[in-house]
Structure 1
Amino acid sequence: MPQLNPNPWLFIMITSWLTFSLIIQPKLLSFTTTNPPTNKTLTTTKTTPWTWPWP
């Protein structure tokens, strides 16, 4: 069963994971968001009951 042989894919997986976590991720996290989140005030809407046209 060649799927169980970790030789070809284990090194590639570890290398790509290290590349992402050590090089790409800090660069992505350094960007600032263009629209920072703001606190919205909650507004309550007044609801009126519906008057049905039939009795």
Structure 2
Amino acid sequence: MPQLNPSPWFSVMLLSWLILLLIIQPKLLSFTTTNQPSNTLPTTTKTTSWTWPWI
């Protein structure tokens, strides 16, 4: 069963991880977010309960 032989596939896996970590990841992390996070706390609105007419 050739699929159990890790020799040809280990180098492919290692190369793909190196490409991901060294080339693709820095390019993805360099993108800036469109909405910068703010330090303000979200405001909570006071909601009133619904009065059901059949109760």
Normalising by the smaller structure, the TM-score range is 0.5 to 0.7
Is 1:15 matched with 2:15?
A: yes
Q: Choose 1 or 2 for highest CA Rg.
A: 1
- For residues 12-47 of structure 1, the C-alpha deviation after alignment (integer angstroms, 9 at most, x for no partner) is 110010011011111111111111222453444445
Q: TM-score, normalised by structure 2?
A: 0.65
CA RMSD of aligned residues (A): 2.2
Q: Counterpart in 2 of 1:25?
A: 25
Structure 1 runs, 4 residues or longer, greater than 2 Å off: 37-55
Q: Structure 2: which 5+ residue stretches go unaligned?
A: none
State the alpha-carbon separation in 1 of the partners of residues 21 and 11 from structure 2.
Answer: 15
Q: TM-score, normalised by structure 1?
A: 0.65
Identity of aligned residues (%): 71
